[in-house]
Amino acid sequence: MYRGNSGQYQYSVWGQGIDRVYRMTASTPWLLSSLGSSQNYNPTAQCADVSWVWLNDTGTKMYLLSWVVGTWFWGTNQLYQYSLSTPRQISAWVTYDTVSFDFSSQDSSIQAVAFSTDWTKMFACGASTQTIYQYELGTAWDVSTATYGWNAFRNISGSAVIWVWFRPDMSYMYVANNFNTAGGSWNNL
């Protein structure tokens, strides 16, 4: 699930045969009980069994991961990039940018991805290696320009890393694992 900075829209995904990205609108920003009308998009031409969604800050780019069923976790090796002709509107024209990024040389099960506030860094949660990987984007928002930088953190919480989030000023990183037994925040990144 992803909520933009305004709290007006919530994006969620349904994989495993349903294969849809949904956008719901909140009549009162950040209030879940006010979520109402929805839009949806089917990305299966590129990204079957979608498992994760993120939009850039202008709402003109959308990023999707897809499911891979493993022994005890789900993940993927590919991140797909799309353009939205109308910002934040997934019922309008959505175009696959013919751009994807392959994480397989670092981890076989990427659970989630987060971006720096200037969109020049990408962080991927690797469940297989219990590592958060950092990538540099040569061009902001364009995952085809991503290059592997360095391992930001290894063996996070002793379990598969499934989620990472940053404070807007990038001073803290928040992490969760798949067993809800550990998580934490780190500063001075």
Q: Which position has the token pair 């993120």? A: 54
Number of helical (H) and strand (E) elements in the chain, helices listed first? 0, 15
Say whether pLDDT at 146 is over 90.
Answer: yes
Q: What are phi and psi of 85, to 5 degrees?
A: -70, -30
Say whether pLDDT at 47 is over 90.
Answer: no
Given this model, what pLDDT does residue 71 score?
39
Q: How confident is the model at residue 75 (pLDDT cuts 50, 70, 90)?
A: low
pTM given for the model: 0.80
- Condensed to tens digits (0 to 9), the pLDDT of residues 78-115 reads 889 999 999 988 877 899 999 999 888 888 888 888 88
Which amino acid is it at 66? S
Which amino acid is it at 57? D
Rounded-to-integer distance, Cα 173 and Cα 189, Å:
8
Tokens for 158? 């002793």
Rounded-to-integer distance, Cα 103 and Cα 111, Å:
11
